[in-house]
A and B are shown apart, each in its own frame.
Chain A
Amino acid sequence: MPHSYPALSAEQKKELSDIALRIVAPGKGILAADESVGSMAKRLSQIGVENTEENRRLYRQVLFSADDRVKKCIGGVIFFHETLYQKDDNGVLFVRTIQDKGIVVGIKVDKGVVPLAGTDGETTTQGLDGLSERCAQYKKDGADFAKWRCVLKISERTPSALAILENANVLARYASICQQNGIVPIVEPEILPDGDHDLKRCQYVTEKVLAAVFKALSDHHVYLEGTLLKPNMVTPGHACPIKYSPEEIAMATVTALRRTVPPAIPGVTFLSGGQSEEEASLNLNAINQCPLPRPWALTFSYGRALQASALNTWRGQRDNAGAATEEFIKRAEVNGLAAQGKYEGSGEDGGAAAQSLYVANHAY
């Protein structure tokens, strides 16, 4: 390696770093509203609503018509391509409404998973072709950050070395291309919670995956100060018989991050995976109360965990829109508090009860 050929100018770096810091400013996180047409089909069918473009528009309108209360807890919104060009009932682009609230607009840019031949059902993610041109256009159309999701799974022999290497590489290529176009890349190497593995196993795998991701980002000359990470929390598999408290999840998660995520990363915005709204908030809160030093912002990039109640309240009826929006604002505010370690719980299932399960001498 002879010499450095700067990937970005000083101005480009500053712009990226400023955008990233705005998104994860204290008390703020991300609304992941970038469900693809296929994902929206699942959500809408659960409330008996037909998956049409108009219904998807009406639903996003419920979220985006939230009042100024969301300004203090939502730093960014991730859009799906279709939604970036949709308007509300008054003909105002959703992008415009969001930007006017001082919230940064983001765009999902990956094109879904494809199989890796010769593996046990593992995948990589496509979307690199023409990505630079697409990013340039999205930037013109109001997007300042992007998101790309890779997927890994835990089983007897997975994730394999190939799956880790390939997904880390593709994430780094995507990140590099985004930054060239003034877009902050959110790097999402999700390890699914499917399976019966315990917390320790998930922690081990998460550390290996994140180490590979950051090595790839370094190899591809990605500017970390202008990047955000969207990882899974460290949790047991869904079918694991052992129950863990939010404090144990927090300790395992923060330990994994401390061992792999360089402090130059301004923020870590967790995905909610299959967690319920309350679980996702309690875990995020515990993470922000974890006694280990945490040099990055630790906040949320939630889809279902911000929208489940809103979706359920709306049920496709215009008359329910206002109440549905309130449900969304409520979760947004709760998570804004959790991102500062200030959420006291809904009071229903005891925060106190969960605390007593914390195992003080488990070495992570």
Chain B
Amino acid sequence: MAYQFPALTSEQKKELSEIAQRIVANGKGILAADESVGTMGSRLQRIKVENTEENRRQFREILFTVDDSVSRSIGGVILFRETLYQKDSQGKLFRDILKEKGIVVGIKLDQGGAPLAGTNKETTIQGLDGLSERCAQYKKDGADFGKWRAVLKIDNQCPSHLAIQENANTLARYASICQKNGLVPIVEPEVIADGDHDMEHCQYVTEKVLAAVYKALNDHHVYLEGTLLKPNMVTAGHASTKKYTPEQVAMATVTALYRTVPAAVPGICFLSGGMSEEDATLNLNAINLCPLPKPWKLSFSYGRALQASALAAWGGKAANKKATQEAFMKRALANCQAAKGQYVHTGSSGAASTQSLFTACYTY
């Protein structure tokens, strides 16, 4: 390594770091509303609504036209390409509606998985071709951050060394290209929860994956202060018979992060994976109350965990707009409180009962 050839100017760095900080300021988090057409299909099918462009537009319109006070809880919204160019029923662009609320607009940039030959069905992610030009256009069209989801799984021989290296490398290339075009890259190396492994195993894998990701970001000269991380929380696999409390999930998660994520990263916005809305909030709250050093903001970037109730309330009917918006606002507010460690659980499933399960001397 001979000499430094600066990747970004001071002005570029300042812009990126300010955008990143705005997104996660004061307990704010991200609404991941970037479901692809196919994924929206699965969501809409569950509420028996047809997967048409208009239906997708209508649902997003209801979410984005909530009261301006939502901007106290939501710092950024990730959009799918189609949505970036859609308008409300008065002809106003969604991205302008969001920006006027002071919410930063983001755009999903990856183009889905591709198999890695010679592995146990592992994948890498496509989307690097022409990415710079796409980023430049999205920046002109109002986006200030991007998102790219890499997927790793825990299984026999997985994640393999190749899968980790390859996904870390593509994430770093994507991040580097984003920054050159004034977009803050959200780096998402999701270790999916499929499987029957316990939480300890997930922690081990998450640590290895994140160490590789940050080495790759460093190798690719990515400016960490102008990035955000979107990781999985550390949990047991869905099919695991072991149950863990939010405090245990929090301790395992923060331990994994503090062993791998440099303090320069301004914010960590967890994905919700398959968690229920309430679990996603309780876990985030416990994470923010965890007594370990936490030099980054710990917030949310939730899709299902912000929208499940809203979707159910909507049912495809315009008349349900108010109920839909209330359901969404309720989760947005709850998660904002959780991001400050101030969420007070008022529901029936007792927070008290979960607290007593915390094993104080388990070493992570």
Task: Give chain B's interface residue range (CB within 8 Å of chain A).
Answer: 35 or more
Q: Is B117 an interface residue (CB 8 A)?
A: no
Q: Is the CB of B4 within 8 A of A262?
A: no
Given the known interface contacts A13-B363, A14-B363, A262-B258, the answer about A1 and B2 at a Cβ–Cβ threshold of 8 Å is no
Residue A264 CB within 8 A of the other chain:
yes
Partner of B295, one of A225, A255, A293: A293
Tell me the smallest distance from the CB of B262 to a CB of chain A, in Å. Answer: 5
Nearest CB of chain B from residue A25's CB, rounded to whole Å: 16
The answer to whether A263 touches B295 (Cβ under 8 A) is yes
Knowing A1-B208, A264-B259 are in contact, say whether A259-B264 is a contact too (CB < 8 A): yes
Q: A4-B201, A363-B14 are in contact. Are A264 and B258 (CB under 8 A)?
A: yes
Question: Would A255 and B3 count as touching, CB distance under 8 A?
Answer: no
Chain A, range 138-187, C-beta contacts under 8 Å to B: 156-157, 159-161, 164
Q: Are A262 and B208 in contact, with the CB atoms below 8 A?
A: no
B206-237 CB contact bits vs A (8 Å, 1 = yes)? 01100110110011000010000000000000
Name the B residues within 8 Å of A218 (CB-CB): 207-208, 211, 259-260
How many angstroms between the C-alpha atoms of A257 and B157 in the bound complex? 34
Enumerate chain B residues within 8 angstroms of A215, measured Cβ to Cβ.
Answer: 211-212, 214-215
- 0/1 interface trace, chain B 1-38, chain A, CB 8 Å (1 if under): 11110000110011000000000000000000000000
Q: How far is the CB of B358 from chain A (nearest CB, A)?
A: 16
**Would A263 and B258 count as touching, CB distance under 8 A?**
yes
Report if B109 contacts A (CB, 8 A): no
Looking at the assembled complex, report how far the CB atom of A307 sits from the nearest CB atom of chain B, in whole angstroms: 32
Q: Does B261 contact A (CB under 8 A)?
A: yes
Picked from A4, A159, A160, A262, the residue with its CB within 8 Å of the CB of B261 is A262
- Which of B99-107, B123-131, B158-166, B322-330 binds A? B158-166
A295 partner, pick from B160, B218, B293, beta carbons under 8 A: B293
Is A201 in the interface zone, CB < 8 Å from B? yes
Tell me if A85 counts as interface (CB < 8 A to partner B). Answer: no
A2 to B259, CA, bound (A): 20
Q: Are A207 and B218 in contact (CB under 8 A)?
A: yes
Q: Check if B160 sits within 8 Å of A1, measured CB to CB.
A: yes
Q: Decide: B164 and A201 in contact? CB cutoff 8 A.
A: no
- Contact among A10, A157, A260 for B2, CB-based, below 8 A: A157
B361 contacts partner chain A, Cβ-Cβ < 8 Å: yes
Measured CB to CB, the closest approach of chain A to B244, in angstroms, equals: 17
B200 contact set on A, CB distance < 8 A: 4
Cβ B263 vs Cβ A293 within 8 A: yes
B249 adjacent to chain A (CB < 8 Å): no
Interface 0/1 of B318-362, CB less than 8 Å to A: 000000000000000000000000000000000000000000011
**With an 8 A cutoff between CB atoms, is B156 at the interface?**
yes
Q: Mark A187-221, 1 if CB is under 8 A from B, else 0.
A: 00000000000001100110110011011001100
A-B pairs with the 5 shortest C-beta distances?
A363-B10, A10-B363, A218-B211, A211-B218, A4-B204
Interface residues of A (CB under 8 A from B): 1-4, 10, 13-14, 156-157, 159-161, 164, 200-201, 204-205, 207-208, 211-212, 214-215, 218-219, 224-225, 255, 257-264, 293-295, 361-363
